[in-house]
Amino acid sequence: MPLIDDSVIKLAIHEHLEFRHDLTVVSTIVDEPFEYGRIIRDEAGYLNAIIEENDATKEIKLIHEINTGIYIIDNRFLVPTLKKIKNDNAKKEYYLTDIVKIMKEEGYLVGTYLLEKSYKAMGVNDLYTLSKAETILRHNINKALMRSGVAMINPDTITIGQNVVIDENVVIHPNTYITGNSHIANGAVIGPNTEIHNSVIGENVICKHSLVYNSEVKKNSVVGPFAHLRDGAIIGENNRIGNFVEVKKSQTGDTFKASHLAYIGDAEIGDNVNFGCGSITVNYDGVNKYKTIIGNDVFVGCNSNLIAPIKIEDNAIIAAGSTVDKNVPHGSLAIARAYQINKENYIRKTKKIY
């Protein structure tokens, strides 16, 4: 019963103590009581017994009040009563529910607490009932968040974990999943089509069509579309992590830009750095992973490979198309390209075009 909460238990215990019951059974009324034990009451309306489905007559099967399986009882009464349970029933099993009849016969005060919200007592025995329980949980979480000031566009498509903290003035778009111990700060815009797990999203961050795992995005940054942050990525303030950019186990400074098609792994990057399209940190040699360190005010040209371990100092420039495997000093321009050779009439000769 995944939907049972502390309020149900508290109310049931309160009624148990107020009416001085020796045993209190939590019951509820359902539309489809099949397979549940039925609550049998006497002429005065008091609990008399619980009859399981396999032992029920046609008349008893018409009863819609069922046993939820929650009992409040003092162990002083429970242990001796359990020893008196017999298996003289259709399934030859020892039913815990038989304690009701036994205790009644021995003069104990037995009663019920009727749970009005029957959905809270629903069991999960297959994937269908699991989906029903998830729908109810999702609805309750989203309702509470929206009432606290979180805007959700089409909330039926949004899944928020129970431990997630979301500040007011956050906007969440459809098909978004936020789970684990995540925190979404004031003014952030999340989604659509975004997954965030165990991550911190700072104030006024925009994160759309992206995956964020075990990472942090600081305020005023833009992530996505189609970005992937993972394994301890820390994105600084006012960053731009754009289309098809992956950041893994790396930290970026403020005002960093990687607008499209880049991989940044095991790197430490300073402020005001521009990472060109198609550029990557080459952090893995097939056996070990190495670190790339990039200083402040560095420009990495398009389609560059930074072969770690390597250090690019402040104000350096990496020329487009370079594969750099040596440290680049402060204020330097690194060019690491093969010389261009043009072979004239090459196509004519190889394809015999005249």
Helices (H), the chain: 6-18, 58-61, 75-82, 99-105, 127-147, 346-351
Q: What is the DSSP letter of 328?
A: B
Cβ–Cβ < 8 Å for 99, 78: yes
Rounded distance, CA 346 to CA 336, Å? 26
Which are the catalytic amino acids?
Answer: 260
Cα separation, 318 vs 280, whole angstroms? 12
3-state helix, strand, coil in the chain (%, to 5): 20, 30, 45
| Residue 310 DSSP SS3 | strand
Q: Are 158 and 144 in contact (CB under 8 A)?
A: no
Half-sphere exposure of 325 (CA within 13 A, CB side): 4
Cα–Cα distances in angstroms (integers) from residue 131 to residues 125, 153, 158, in the given order: 11, 21, 14
